[in-house]
Structure 1
Amino acid sequence: MKFTVVGAGAMGLRYGVLLQEAGNEVDFVDAWQPHVDKMKAQGGVYVNRDHQGRHLVPVHVYYPEEYQKQDQDVLIFFMKQMQLADMLKRCQHFFNDKQYVLTCMNGMGHVDQLLNYFKPEKVVAGTALVATILDGPGEVDFVGKPGAGSMNLANYTEQPDEMTHKLVAQLKKANFNPNLTTNFMGTLLAKVVFNSVVNTLCTLFEITMGEYADYQGADSLSRQLVDEAYDVAERMGVTMLNTREEEMASINYVSTVANPLHYPSMYQDMTKNRPTEVDYINGYLVKMGQKYHYEAKTHAFLTHLVHLAEHTRQQSLAAESANEKVVVLKKAAGN
């Protein structure tokens, strides 16, 4: 099959590289100049697995404006929620009515944006339960052994067709362990709930998933957040993939066994002074709760805490920058 991955960040590279290694034709489209230029210069991306075995994987990467192919079978979108609208505008010249779309982005909101460009029956969305780190331009680290992690996906129409099954077959061949469901909202919300606990708390306290799970009160914290999220889902009329107990077990398993040394993506954004997606995760649950006359108070509190942490970091950076300018001016005056 022919794939184009839009967003060659950590997860986009993992999906694209492994699909390529499974025998598919894969292109990458990205807009981060240092990253794109680095991959073009070195002829690909350097891939590590758990910080070992660094090797160059040849890839074809393009800026949105220079990519002209229109014969792709599937477009895969892996963007930050706040970046998607602009990227869709920049890429729309190579969209057509025959293409299918797969997205496993964090948070909620992206599917509505994709539906502005693609037919509902062509949209497949899901959740990726696998950890990957973009170490820098042209450098990516796949966390976990080959075949680690899993994913759930569903058609927007909840009616799998022949192309959907072909897509699932290739994902299976690439060791993503796909689980095709016919519960669209339940599938997407499962990852939102997971992220609303682990991503947010690990980010606020700058700890790994394993360090969070090691705290004796972790189950109590997780339970409060899971219960609020499921209360929201029930009011939305959504049947979740897991029961509340199964979701708690999933959080514990991933945190203690699958990825105990991993810092979630929200933490990586925070430490690199990039905007987080908390409004599309905890904030989404708050908004949906309000729509159905329910207050997800703990999720609202955590959303504010993440924004406070972002604000504090920006203030510190601004102060550091101002101090550096003063030092430069003093040195210049002394000369």
Structure 2
Amino acid sequence: MKFTVVGAGAMGLRYGVLLQEAGNEVEFVDGWAPHVEKMRAQGGVYVNRDHQNQHLVPVKVFYPEEYQRQDQDVLIFFLKQMQLADMLKRCEHFFNDQQYVLTCMNGMGHVEKLLQYFKPEKVVAGTALVATILDKPGQVDFVGKPGAGTMNLANYTEKPDELTHQLVAELEKANFHPNLTTNFKGTLMAKVVFNSVVNTLCTLFEITMGEYAGYPGADEMSKQLIDEAYDVCERDGIVMLNTREQELASVNYVSKVANPLHYPSMYQDMSKNRPTEVDYINGYLVKLGQKYNYNAKTHAFLTHLVHLAEHTRQAQATDAQPAAQAV
């Protein structure tokens, strides 16, 4: 199959590189100049596996404005929620009504933006329990052994067609262990709930997933957030993929067994003074609950805490800047 990955960050590179190694034709589109220029200069991206076995993987990467190809089978979108709208505008010249779209972005809000450009029957969205880190421009680290992690995906229409099954087959070849469902909202919300626990708490306390799960009170904290999230989803009529108990088990398995040494993507953003996606995760649950007069107060409190941490870090960086220049 022919793929174009829009957003050559950590997850975009993991999906694109592994699909390429599985025998597919893959190209990348990205707007971050230091990253694009580095990959062009070195002839590809350096890939590590758990900080070892670094090797150069040749990739073709383009800026949005220079990319013209329109014969792709699938466009894969991996961006931060707040970046998507602008990138869609920059890329719309190579969109057409025959292309399928796959996205496994964190949070909620991206599907509505994609539907402004693509037919509902062409949109496939899912969740990826896969850990990956963009170490620096032109270098990415795939966390976990080959085949680590899982993913769920569903058609927006909840009616899988022939190309959807072809896509699933290629994702299986690439070792992503895809699970195709016919429950669109439930599939997406499973990852939102997971992230609302692990990403947010690990970010606030600057700890790995394993360190969080190792805290004796972690289960109680996780259950409080999961219960609140499920209360919201039930009011919206969303049928979740997992029971509350299964969701807690998933949090523990991924944190203790699959990726105990991993810092979630929200932490990576926070540590680099980039805006986090908390409004699209915990904040999304809060707003959804408000539609039904339900107060998801723990998620609201955590959303404020993350924004407070962002504000504090940015203020400290601003205060430190003149002193650094003086030296």
TM-score, L = length of structure 1 = 0.97
Q: Following superposition of structure 1 onto structure 2, how do residues 218-237 of structure 1 map, counting pairs within 5 Å?
A: 218-237=218-237
Match of 2:68 in 1: 68
What residue is the counterpart of 2:179 in the other structure?
179
Q: Which runs of 4+ in 1 moved over 2 A?
A: 322-325
Aligned equivalents of 2:195, 2:300: Cα separation in 1: 14
What's the secondary structure of 1:47's corresponding residue?
A: strand
Deviation digits for residues 56-93 of structure 1 (CA, Å, limit 9, x no counterpart)? 00000000001000000000000000000000000000
Residue 19 (structure 1) aligns with: 19
Three-state SS of the structure 1 residue aligned to 2:152 is strand
Query: Using the alignment, how far apart are the partners of 1:322 and 1:283 within structure 2?
Result: 34
Partner of 2:312 in structure 1?
A: 312
Distance (Å, rounded) in 2 between the aligned partners of 1:67 and 1:159: 31
In 2, the alpha carbon distance for the partners of 1:256 and 1:63 equals: 39
1:48 aligns with 2:48: yes
Q: Which residue of 1 aligns with 2:94?
A: 94
Query: What SS class does the counterpart of residue 169 from structure 1 fall into?
Result: helix
For residues 180 and 145 of structure 1, the distance between their equivalents in structure 2, rounded to whole angstroms, comes to: 23
Deviation (angstroms), 1:189: 0.1
Aligned equivalents of 1:155 and 1:322: distance in 2? 51
**Alignment gaps of 5+ in structure 1:** 329-335
Match runs of 1:265-284 below 5 Å: 265-284=265-284
Q: Which amino acid aligns with 1:126?
A: G
Partner of 1:332: none
CA distance in 2, matches of 1:159, 1:293: 32
Aligned residue in 1 for 2:209: 209
Q: Does 1:195 align with 2:195?
A: yes
Q: What is the deviation of 1:323? A: 2.2
Equivalent residue pairs, number: 327
Q: Which runs of 5+ in 2 are unaligned?
A: none
What amino acid maps onto 1:98 in structure 2?
Q
Per-residue CA deviations over 1:179-209 (Å, capped at 9, x if unaligned) read 0000000000000000000000000000000
Pairwise CA RMSD = 0.5
Residue 69 of structure 2 aligns to which amino acid in structure 1? K
C-alpha separation in 2, matches of 1:79 and 1:324? 32
Letter of the 2:209 counterpart = M
1:323 aligned onto 2:327? no
**Cα distance in 2 for residues equivalent to 1:293 and 1:5:** 39
Partner of 1:37: 37
Alignment partner, residue 8 of structure 1: 8
SS in structure 2 at match of 1:83: helix
Q: How far, CA to CA, are the matches of 1:66 and 1:195 in structure 2? A: 35
Larger radius of gyration: 1
Output the CA distance in 2 between the equivalents of 1:117 and 1:246: 35
Match of 2:124 in 1: 124
Q: 1 CA distance for matches of 2:292 and 2:318? A: 40
1:292 CA displacement: 1.1
Cα distance in structure 1, aligned partners of 2:9 and 2:215: 31
Q: Which residue of 2 aligns with 1:331?
A: none
TM-score between both structures, scaled by the size of structure 2? 0.99
SS in 1 for 2:229: helix
Question: How far apart in 2 are the matches of 1:160 and 1:22?
Answer: 22
Which residue identity lines up with residue 307 of structure 1 in the other structure?
H
2:109 — aligned with what?
109
Distance 1:220 1:150 in 2: 25
Q: Which residue type is aligned with residue 288 of structure 2?
A: M
